[in-house]
Amino acid sequence: RVSPEGNTLYFFGKKDSIGFVTTSTLSGSALEERAGLTFMKIFLDDGSLKVLERIFFQRDIFEGSGGKVYTLFDNVERVDFQYLDGNPETGADQWVSEWLPDEKDYLPAAVRIDLSILYRGGVVDIPPIVVDIRTRRRLT
């Protein structure tokens, strides 16, 4: 998470979860939690897509305890996150299944989310959702 220059990248991505710091909050958040920065982790838990919301200024936001968990959607069979590595050194774009902050000093160019839901007794694959991240600047 910390680059040699001491900067911190507050973003991690795994195949089944994603975590990041944002100025956005969930609408059900208490007033004191709506100001400033929030850490959010989106993950699949027992058939529900959930989000953990935690005030940013806690000791270790990636591993710490506390915060509130909200259910975004029920009846989710599968979630798969992928991260577009627009490698600034090589210029080559490649989708990867992990984005670890101690290995990268830049954000992914985009995040792709593949979802499968349970609907009327069957599994339905939702078309991929791609979120473009407009910055490709390094932390340095």
| 2 domain-assigned | no
| 77 domain-assigned | yes
Instruction: Note the pTM of the prediction, 2 decimals.
Output: 0.80
Residue 8 belongs to what H/E stretch? none
What confidence tens digit (pLDDT) does each residue in 47-56 have? 999 999 887 7
| 4 domain-assigned | no
pLDDT score of 86 more than 70 = yes
| 85 domain-assigned | yes
The number of folded domains in the chain is 1
- Domain extent, residue 62, equals 11-132
What confidence tens digit (pLDDT) does each residue in 94-137 have? 999 999 988 888 889 999 999 999 999 999 999 999 999 866 55
pLDDT score of 138 more than 60 = no
| 3 domain-assigned | no
Residue 109 belongs to what H/E stretch? none
Q: Is 33 helix (H, G, I), strand (E, B) or coil?
A: helix
Q: How far apart are CA 57 and CA 65, in angstroms?
A: 12
